[in-house]
Amino acid sequence: MGSKNKLKRFKENETFANVVQPTRDEVLEGFKYKGNWVSFFGNDHPIVLELGCGKGEYAIGLAKRNPDKNYIGVDIKGARFWRGAKTALDQDLKNVAFLRSQIELIHHLFGANEVSEIWITFPDPQIKYKRTKHRMTNPDFLKKYKQILNPEGTVNLKTDSEFMHGYTLGLLQGMGHEIRYANHDVYKNEGAPKEVLEIQTFYENQYLEKGKPITYIQFRIH
């Protein structure tokens, strides 16, 4: 994407009613929607996050299926989620928002028990050992997710990375978290939830064309 196109999208994001772009200082010094997302959506429906949302395909796809839930795509790359934000506006989806921020600040963006579910779709697996701290299912991230999830809250990981799948399964088992469902090839093995099979991201379609298996884990953090 050219720099002119990016700048255009950044400018458009500033005009979108469904996009929230706090500064880092605003997040750290007391983000106005933390514990108060009901004031943004105008209702107290359950909140579901798509972390590292990219173009927001899952946030949009899930919002269409579940009008009684509010969805928030979180990503630092505003030029990417511009697509999802524009689609939501064009289709008048009032239960979708996009939040531009770093994922490691997630516990500053949402209050305790404020989130009912988290989706992590095709994150960078950060395979090199020195990148462990950036893996979105490492112990530090899980701790932050626990802070904002309600007691029954679940986390969903969908990835093409066998490494990420295996790493997460091993970590969850070792830490005593509850693995509710795991599948190393959702399109070949039966039992995956409908939303896992029916919603596909741009990158997922590319992986499927190459014959890569898509994995999925649903778990609870204890």
Q: What's the confidence (pLDDT) of residue 179?
A: 98
Order the strands of the 47-51 sheet from edge to edge. Answer: 19-20, 96-100, 70-75, 47-51, 115-121, 149-159, 215-220, 178-183
Walk me through the domains of the chain, giving residue ranges and CATH numbers. Answer: 3-220 (3.40.50.150)
- How far apart CA 222 and CA 177 sit, in angstroms, is 5
* 142/13: higher pLDDT: 142
- How far apart CA 74 and CA 69 sit, in angstroms, is 16
Q: Where in the chain does DSSP place strands (E)?
A: 19-20, 47-51, 70-75, 96-100, 115-121, 149-159, 178-183, 215-220
Q: What is the pTM of this model?
A: 0.95
Beta-bridge partner residues of 219: 155, 179
- How far apart CA 10 and CA 207 sit, in angstroms, is 28
- Ramachandran bin of 92, using left for φ above 0, alpha for ψ from -120 to 50, beta for the remaining angles: left
Residue 2 confidence class, pLDDT cut points 50, 70, 90: low
Buried b (16+ CB within 10 A) or exposed e, 161-193: beebbebbbebbeeeebeeeebbeebeeeeebe
pLDDT of 26 over the 90 cut: yes
Match 């295996």 to its residue by tokens: 166
Q: What's the confidence (pLDDT) of residue 1?
A: 56
Q: Which residues are catalytic?
A: 124
Q: Which two tokens stand for residue 120?
A: 């992590």
Q: Encode pLDDT of 129-156 as tens digits.
A: 999 999 999 999 999 999 999 999 999 9
